[in-house]
Every structure is written in structure tokens, then in C-alpha cells.
Amino acid sequence: MQSFLDNPALKRSLLQKAQTFQASDGWTTRPVYWDGKGGSLVGGLLGSEDLDQWTREFALPKWTALLLDMVAVMQPSAEEAKAAQISLLEALPVGVDLDQYGNLVLSRFLKETEKDLSFLPTNHPLRAILAGVMELHEAEMLGKSQKPAEWRKARSEAIAVTDQAAPDSLEAKFGAVIEAAAWDPRTSRSVVADTFRSWVNARRDVVVQQKVADQGLLTFEETKALLDKIHAEERKKRKDPKEFIHVFGIMEERYPKEHKDMMSFHRIQHEEAVKQRNKGLDIIISGLKSSSSLFRCTC
């Protein structure tokens, strides 16, 4: 299958249609959605939610549709969401087998995850699972199609190892990334989008945890416990059980240091979310652009 039917004019037309739809009142960030009047970018380009139509009309695999809408969901503003979608569309090459690009992008995320897990012993089960999933994607890129049973086995092993990790640990967070990536993009339309989201969330949370510890800030759990305490204490004082309790205002007044910590936490979390989203999108786009002839169709 040659992307955009090996027709640069089709890609240009799709980009123009995308920008026109984004400028309309009908554009939303709900993935693969169309209600007859408006919807996501993919829904607007198709005028439907039929991803078979996406493949038929544009010769693009279904994972590109889910990814195109997912990058919008994960952006902090409408304008940034629209820009990210156009950047991704522009990066999609013409006249290549994009199925294998799914494996390429997933391999790049897994290689980044390999770096993040370098603190683990070389014989740690999670590193072995990661290596196994990477091998499956690399085999697909070499044209060696893997059986569904191999993918199921890799997922089961990833889930089993991740489930043994302590909640909120590095192992648990990056284990979730490996689980998300343990699918064949030819059969899973959401695998690239899910891996992108899982990787961004894992990187964000890990960096936030480190900065919170370095700066001696309250953790999310500690802040929540304090807010719950304030709410419970105020509820006992109020005669009206339905009266609104402004816990954040009370926290700022009575616990100024803790309130400052909370605001710092949210600022750091937002900054890291933006940074990791941008890095994740760069991984995808640079992969598509740098290997534009890697899987060029010769059929």
C-alpha cells in the first residue's frame, strides 16, 4: 500500500482540507469522532468514523488516524493541538509502506525507554521483556511477519512483570509503556497513539517525582491527604451539609507553605507535560522524516 496513493497532490489536498476544517466551528479533539456536523480532524476529513474509508481513500494505515487525533488531545491549547496535527500530517511521506513506520516509531519509543531503565540490573525481567518487544518490531521492519501468538506472549509477559512492580515506581510506569507497545500496528489501530501517551505520562511523572524530591515539595499524595483533612474538619463545623467548602482557599490561608508547594508541584507537572509531549512528537516526526525512503514501496 503506497501512502497517499503515491500521489503528492492527494497529500497537499488533504493538508488544505485539514487546515480548513480546523478553522471551522466543527473541529474538536475527541478522537475519531463525527456527528454529521463536526468532530475530530480525522472525522472531519472523512465525514465519518469509518477507518476503512481512511485506508481506502488515503492509503494510510489506521494507526496514523488514531495518532493524528491523539496528538490533539494531549496538547494544552487548541492552537497547539492544531499545529501538532498539521506537523504530523506534513511528516507523513508519500508512496511508502507506512505499516512498517508504525514499527519504526514504536522502536524509537522503546529505545528511549531502554535508556530510562538503564538503572536496572542487566538481568532484570523488565529489561528482558523490553528487549523481546523490540525484537518483534525489528523483525517486522525486516519483513519477517510475526505470528499473533508471539505478540500475545510478549504482552502477557510484560503485564506479569509490570504487575509485580511497586505502584508509581519507575518499573511500573515504564512497564506500562512496554505493555502499550507490545502490539502489531498492522492489527492494532491504537498501538502507536497508546504508546505515545503512555511514554509521555511516564516521562512526565518520573521527572516530576525527582524534582519534587530535590526541592523538598509535598508529593501529590501528601497534598491530597491535607486537602481531605481540611475538608473533613470543615464539614464537621458546618451546619449545612451541602455548603461549598473552598478547601484551596483555606489551605492558602492556614497552610501557606503547603499551598506554595502545591502550586509549585502543578507548575512543574505542567512544564514537564509540555516538554515530554514535544519530545514524543519529535520522536515520531523525526522518525518519519529521516527514513522517508526506508520502506518505499516497489510494488
Using alpha carbons only, what angle is made at residue 13 by residues 106 and 70, rounded to the nearest 5 degrees? 30
SS in 3 state form for the chain? CCHHHHCHHHHHHHHHHHHHHHCCCCECCCCCCECCCCECHHHHHHCCCCHHHHHHHHCCCHHHHHHHHHHHHCCCCHHHHHHHHHHHHHHCCCCECHHHHHHHHHHHHHHHHHHHCCCCCCCCHHHHHHHHHHHHHHHHHCCCCCCHHHHHHHHHHHHHHHHCCCCCCHHHHHHHHHHHHCCCCCCCCCHHHHHHHHHHHHHHHHHHHHHHHHHCCCCHHHHHHHHHHHHHHHHHHCCCCCCCCCHHHHHHHHCHHHHHHHHHHHHHHHHHHHHHHHHHHHHHHHHHHHCCCCCECCC
Residue 52: inside a domain: yes
Three cell numbers at 200? 509521555
Give the model confidence (pLDDT) of 212-241 as tens digits: 999 999 988 899 999 999 999 999 988 888
pLDDT score for 1: 82
Query: CB within 8 A of 252, min separation 6: which ones?
Result: 259
pLDDT level of residue 297 (50, 70, 90 thresholds): very low
Residue 42: inside a domain: yes
Residue 128: inside a domain: no
pLDDT score for 119: 87
pLDDT level of residue 167 (50, 70, 90 thresholds): confident
Residue 231: inside a domain: no
Residue 19: inside a domain: yes
Mean pLDDT of the chain: 92
pLDDT level of residue 299 (50, 70, 90 thresholds): very low
Residue 187: inside a domain: no
pLDDT score for 151: 95
Residue 22: inside a domain: yes
**Domain span at residue 19?**
3-91
Q: How far apart are CA 74 and CA 220, in angstroms?
A: 21
Q: List strand residue ranges (DSSP E) for 105-177, in order.
A: none
As for how many domains the chain has, the answer is 1
pLDDT score for 242: 85
Residue 83: inside a domain: yes
Give the model confidence (pLDDT) of 232-274 as tens digits: 999 998 888 888 999 999 999 999 999 999 999 999 999 999 9
Average pLDDT over residues 123-147: 93
Specify the pTM: 0.88
